[in-house]
Amino acid sequence: MPDIKLGGNLSQTESTPTEENDSHIFQEEALPVEEELKTETDDNLIEEDPNKIVVTISDNKTPLVVLFGPPACGKTMSLIRLARYLRCKNYVIQPDESFRPSSDPQYKAICKNFDSMIDNPDAANSTSRISFMLASVLYKGNTLCKILEAPGEHYFDYKHPEAEFPRYVQTIINQPNRKIWLIMVEPVNTNIIEYNSRIQYARKISKLKKRLLPRDKVIFVFNKIDTTEFVSGTSINYRATREETKNQYPNIFTPFENMNPITKWWRPFNCDFVAFQTGNYTETFDGTLTFTPSSDIYPKRLWELILKRIRG
């Protein structure tokens, strides 16, 4: 198979680090994250009306990885965990400063302090600060993909489950770039969304599926696997985990059924499924929530799937 080049001159077969299948700059000194961001007013943290948010994706070729899920499902910490893992593997993760207008002071502050927020041991407290971000993943100077994190209520608001996607999400859906949608699900014991709302979430995903372009791919990410009985060490009972997902989110996989009479026997659904854990969270005496990253096996498996779907 010939080399595939993405977002530059990177040869996937020559330039991407390789690992075993069963395992995963100088930086300008910045002000402390909280001090820097507190210089902005609360009104600037995010647009009150998501339909007024303006985004720019000037690169129409680099694949977009979109973290999709309701509030509190772990999207931001998943980005932080994946970023930490990739940096240890000699990738570069950097914010796309052109994503938001230069007049947006909050986004500028987030971009300036992105490294500090990713590396901070109190990273769990950064989730409210990285609520809206487009980050590029580079290897040897070539852009592999861009990862989008946005507020969960813009994708699915359980108080308004039938609401249409905001204008900027519509823009992203319609982008010609290949998109890899990371659809977040979680076990019932950590889920703040009631059963009826989970049914609505599955319906929202069905609506999204109808809008996907032929090159787009979907990976279901079962986050917080460590809170279930389906894991022993880093060994996952995937059959039980999928069944849990089907039971908690009725018909969530239905739009992805493989209708091909031949290939459906070994690939029943046209989507991927991976278990994930961001890490462990410990509250200190002063109430600070500290973060210890999970085993590298989790971001490694996720990144391998993303790379696979980026290539085709």
The predicted model gives 212-220 an average pLDDT of 96
Whole-number pLDDT of residue 48 = 63
Distance separating alpha carbons of residues 71 and 74, to the nearest angstrom:
8
Distance separating alpha carbons of residues 97 and 249, to the nearest angstrom:
36
Confidence of residue 131 (pLDDT cuts 50, 70, 90): low
Q: Could you tell me which of 212, 223, 217 has the C-alpha nearest to residue 307? A: 217
Confidence of residue 285 (pLDDT cuts 50, 70, 90): confident
DSSP-assigned letters across all residues of 22-51: T----------HHHHHTTS-GGGSS-SSGG
Whole-number pLDDT of residue 38 = 46
- Tell me which of 40-44, 174-178, 286-290 is least confident: 40-44
Percent of the chain with pLDDT over 70: 82
Please give the distance of CA 297 from its chain centroid, rounded to a whole number.
17
Whole-number pLDDT of residue 127 = 61
Confidence of residue 270 (pLDDT cuts 50, 70, 90): very high
Partners of 37 in the β-ladder = none
Per residue in 56-89, pLDDT tens? 898 999 999 999 999 888 898 999 999 999 999 9
Provide the terminal-to-terminal Cα distance of the chain, rounded to the nearest Å.
Answer: 12
252-259 long-range CB contacts below 8 Å, 24 or more apart? Answer: 252/185, 252/201, 252/202, 252/205, 252/220, 253/220, 254/206, 255/205, 255/206, 255/209, 255/210, 256/209, 256/218
Position 47 pLDDT exceeds 60: no
Whole-number pLDDT of residue 13 = 38
Per residue in 101-112, pLDDT tens? 888 888 888 888
Distance separating alpha carbons of residues 25 and 14, to the nearest angstrom:
23
The predicted model gives 271-284 an average pLDDT of 91
Whole-number pLDDT of residue 35 = 46
Position 251 pLDDT exceeds 80: yes
Confidence of residue 282 (pLDDT cuts 50, 70, 90): confident
Distance separating alpha carbons of residues 255 and 208, to the nearest angstrom:
10
Residue 99: both structure tokens together = 């994503």
Position 246 pLDDT exceeds 70: yes
Q: Which residue has the higher pLDDT, 13 or 289?
A: 289
The predicted model gives 146-172 an average pLDDT of 89
Position 50 pLDDT exceeds 90: no
Whole-number pLDDT of residue 136 = 96
Residue 10: both structure tokens together = 């990177």
Percent of the chain with pLDDT over 90: 52
Q: Which CATH number fits domain 65-91+152-311: 1.20.1530, 3.40.50, 1.10.287, 3.40.720?
A: 3.40.50
